[in-house]
Amino acid sequence: MAPFAIERALVTAQIGETPVRIFMQNTSQVAIARVKTPNKRVTYSGDARIDGVPGTSAAIAVTFEDTEGSTCGAVFPTGQPIDTINGIELTMIDNGMPCVLMRAIDLGLTGTEAPSTLETNATLRARLKAIRRIAGARMTLGDVARKTVPKNTITSGPIMHSECDLPCQKPY
C-alpha cells in the first residue's frame, strides 16, 4: 500500500526514506510505514523475508501510533497488571490488541504442546472460553462471545530441548 502511494505520487517521495501515514479504518488508528526511497524512487530489493512467502524484498518498518489502550481505554483495562479469573493469574492488556496472557504451567501445560493438541483438548478450550468471556467484560468489551477480541495468549519460559534455534536460557 505505501509503495503504491509513493509510486502514484499520492505521497511525495523523499531521498533515502519516505514515511507514509496510513489510517486504519477498522481501529481508527494511524500507522507510519517507512519505505526505502533512494533517489526518491521506491526500492524493492532487499534481504527481508516473511515465512511462507517466496523470495526477499526491501524491509518496510511500520510504527503503530496511539496503541496503548486503543480499544479498552487503558493499557491495563482493569487498572491492575495481574488479575485472577477462575483461579488463574493472568494479565489483561490492551496495547494495540486486547489480549489475555496466561502462564502455560497454570493451565497444566508445558508450553511445548503442538497447536493441534491444544485445539483438540475440549476441557482446555472450555476453560479458556470461560476465562475469555469474563475477561472481555472486565476489559470493557462487553459480551465477547461473537467477537474476536480479547485474544487468549498462553506463555511459557524458555524451553530446553534439542531443536532450539536460539541459545536456550534458564527457565524463570
CATH of the domain at 139: 3.10.310.10
ω into 150 cis (within 30 of 0):
yes
> Residue 48 carries which DSSP code?
B
In this prediction, residue 164 carries a pLDDT of 54
Kindly report the pTM of this predicted structure: 0.68
**How close are the terminal C-alpha atoms of the chain, in Å?**
41
Statement: residue 31 has pLDDT above 80: yes
Using CB atoms within 10 A of its CB, is residue 107 exposed (0-12), middle (13-18) or buried (19+)? buried
Tell whether 52 and 90 lie within a shared domain: no
Tell whether 42 and 98 lie within a shared domain: no
Statement: residue 57 has pLDDT above 90: yes
Tell whether 60 and 88 lie within a shared domain: no
In a domain? residue 40: yes
Lowest mean pLDDT among 19-33, 86-100, 143-157: 19-33
Identify the domain containing residue 151 by its residue range: 83-155
Total domains in the fold of the chain? 2
In a domain? residue 108: yes
Tell whether 151 and 88 lie within a shared domain: yes
- Give the residue among 150, 145, 41, 166 at the shortest CA–CA distance from 91: 150
Cell of 131: 476465562
